[in-house]
Structure 1
């Protein structure tokens, strides 16, 4: 598991990359996407390093889910309900319509402010302070009306996404109980603030309101009492323990998963805690975990990561190869193996490292780690231009466009003009990032 830190300067979101968790989310989402009719343009599910229970879709291509959703959800159906809801936004094209609604709300506010400013100017000309203050109040009131108009529209879209989610769950033969449990949890969190909240100043309907609106329809589903899939439940428990262990201090993990807990999830969490502690017994504990499931590729990935981060990249090569023997096209396993081959500091390993990392990039072009290790592999083989180009690509992934342009320009000087590599470097040099609104 790898946490990609946020780039504070460019406002990027802190991302978590983990093959096991991403595979589970894909399996949760696949039938939902199919039922919604968007399987042909399947959105990418991106894990956010945030422990709060939240998910959102910024466009039709991406769905962001906080690790908190998986950590708080006790059953797969709760996460599936969240995915179904966000899919409702994508399939309903709510994001496109929301932009139009936002524009309309802004127009309302601008007109109101102009009218208010006119009244204030008239009051000032006549010497009437009352008229001036009334004009300012009108301007503020219009802004409030515009904002409330947009929020009301958003509440309507949230309700529509809830209804769509119920439809998808029914079409895929899944129970809506998990979705109801999510709203129940949200309602309990809002319990103390609900009496002071203005329901018309919320972008989402209040959780209790959503729960009440869905309850009757959900109970009509013939799948309401459908039990959780035991295989998915097992995988969910594993991922839940894994995320907790990676995002918590080892002592907190041992308190949450004491030695008396013999479940596979608890053993997994303790092995990760041992790795994070950098103790000598970490690999031994992971080996004990592997003996319980010798065909689990993610256990071998963990062993390789423990060895690599413990300063023994050469020994990390074998467990990463073993993980790939079970999932040969998993890009994150390929990146790990390439990292270990480069880290072993043996010139004989570099050609393979280059091939492995290029294969990883073909399957996942957003891995800054893969580009960074590829640049090192090229550099150690005396391929300076290729190293500079790989560095430039990695910097582009991270959003550091100015530095990327410098490396690409340097690479161009040594590349054959018109070659594929030269064209790629030229594209980076000519790239103009989209204008983003200033944030304060």
Structure 2
């Protein structure tokens, strides 16, 4: 088949679209380290924990304020991944792997990560990065079309040399565009590093933790750096970043500032908690043996006991509560132990106790609603409905709250309301097809024009964005 300009252009443009789509996908989520924590096109596994989320908010609040984004604070979302990684997909969300908290020995290390990612948000790097990706696309288009023209001309003239040269130009054009984009990303990473130093200095905090992060990255790259092409990386090589930051960080009068001891205590508690929940109980007992009498070690062992579902789990948690009778998260753990043990009725009291300390914590409300529904007592259902609706009002992205609310409605004979709650929960999980089916069924029994009917209609009419065409 003879090579023509039209067929070659179509083939190359199809290839180009795939290349640019890949580049843009990588650009939208800027990771702190080179390997992205998210799988392209897949869902990010989210962890919900009130204690950890509260700690991250306290870490981030002063950073967000000095960065000028305190009025519209991004939501910090915890990812169930043990690698040391964080990224921002847009100006509204910051994803942090549990591995960041588990590996970091001090709060300052995590705060350094947050400061870096905040630099991307405050610097509007994501918006500019999409523009840079567009420019890279233009470079690639011009090069590929010129190459396609040369290939077509060479084929028509019977010139093997011209055809070969045209093909080489066509193949090299995406690489030129890609390297242009990666060079831009490296510049933005350096800008985020500098911004992070400013934020830490402005909040009276040391940059030692941030430097330790880059030192860790540098050690990881030690054996592979001799083979790495620095121009094919989206981030500067770790050793370069460490050396440059060290010189600047040492100029700050806060360089030797220690971590706040209260934050350090909370940090160690959360580290132990995340380790215990994400590890086998035997691994937890090896990491936190009974010879370790620290509060964090006692916390980890209590969680391991709960996960083992042994008879002594509640006793171990009660011993933990005696050390801190005003800690709401210990009561949350006790309630969870009863739930795991198949006794939701007994879980109600500890969840109520947790709420007495933090009445507006949506996750405590969800737990209480879950226990009230699970107790299988019709007298509890009206309260369960109220509690779960309040939880959703505070956190509309809780799939568990919607599913339990649907059960509460269903057991009270409210079929349409149950279907609508199910539809909302499915929307949160991203199952739009099933959500539309439940919403359509709910609409049939709801009064036309009522708030519930309108909500169902919104779900039926919803059109998910075309991810393939998004830039």
TM-score bracket for the superposition, by shorter chain length: over 0.9
Structure number with higher relative contact order (C-alpha < 8 Å, ≥ 6 residues apart): 2
Aligned length: 433
In the alignment, does 2:42 pair up with 1:11?
yes
Find the residue that maps to 1:437 and give its secondary structure: helix
Verify the 8 A CA contact 1:24 1:235 in the aligned structure 2: yes
Hey, what does 2:194 align to over in structure 1? Answer: 163
**Residues of 2 paired with 1:9 and 1:217: CA distance?**
35
Structure 1, 210-219 or 361-370: larger mean CA deviation? 210-219
Counterpart pick for 1:299 among 330, 339, 364: 330
Find the residue that maps to 1:58 and give its secondary structure: strand
Verify the 8 A CA contact 1:334 1:360 in the aligned structure 2: yes
Counterpart pick for 2:282 among 234, 238, 251: 251
Counterpart pick for 2:65 among 34, 43, 49: 34
Verify the 8 A CA contact 1:331 1:364 in the aligned structure 2: yes
**Residues of 1 paired with 2:467 and 2:322: CA distance?**
51
Counterpart pick for 1:144 among 152, 160, 175: 175
Hey, what does 1:412 align to over in structure 2? Answer: 443
Verify the 8 A CA contact 1:305 1:316 in the aligned structure 2: yes
Runs of 4+ in structure 1 over 4 Å off: 7-10
In the alignment, does 2:125 pair up with 1:83?
no
**Residues of 2 paired with 1:204 and 1:135: CA distance?**
32
**Residues of 2 paired with 1:150 and 1:144: CA distance?**
10
**Residues of 2 paired with 1:130 and 1:72: CA distance?**
56
**Residues of 1 paired with 2:170 and 2:39: CA distance?**
35
**Residues of 1 paired with 2:178 and 2:210: CA distance?**
29
Hey, what does 1:132 align to over in structure 2? Answer: 163
Verify the 8 A CA contact 1:10 1:399 in the aligned structure 2: no
In the alignment, does 2:73 pair up with 1:46?
no
**Residues of 2 paired with 1:368 and 1:331: CA distance?**
12
**Residues of 2 paired with 1:9 and 1:92: CA distance?**
25
The 5 A counterparts of 1:53-64 are: 53-64=84-95
**Residues of 2 paired with 1:137 and 1:255: CA distance?**
58
Shift of residue 142 of structure 1?
A: 1.6
In the alignment, does 2:281 pair up with 1:239?
no
Verify the 8 A CA contact 1:388 1:411 in the aligned structure 2: yes
Q: How big is the alpha-carbon RMSD for the aligned residues of Structure 1 and Structure 2? A: 1.4
Verify the 8 A CA contact 1:385 1:414 in the aligned structure 2: yes
**Residues of 2 paired with 1:223 and 1:191: CA distance?**
30
**Residues of 2 paired with 1:9 and 1:279: CA distance?**
40
In the alignment, does 2:354 pair up with 1:323?
yes
In the alignment, does 2:178 pair up with 1:114?
no
Shift of residue 130 of structure 1?
A: 2.4
Shift of residue 126 of structure 1?
A: 2.3
Counterpart pick for 2:368 among 311, 332, 337: 337
TM-score by length of 2: 0.90
Gaps in structure 1 of 5+ consecutive residues:
1-6
Shift of residue 421 of structure 1?
A: 0.6
Find the residue that maps to 1:228 and give its secondary structure: coil
Verify the 8 A CA contact 1:73 1:79 in the aligned structure 2: yes
**Residues of 2 paired with 1:335 and 1:10: CA distance?**
30
In the alignment, does 2:293 pair up with 1:262?
yes
Find the residue that maps to 2:89 and give its secondary structure: coil
**Residues of 2 paired with 1:243 and 1:133: CA distance?**
57
Shift of residue 290 of structure 1?
A: 0.8
Shift of residue 438 of structure 1?
A: 8.4
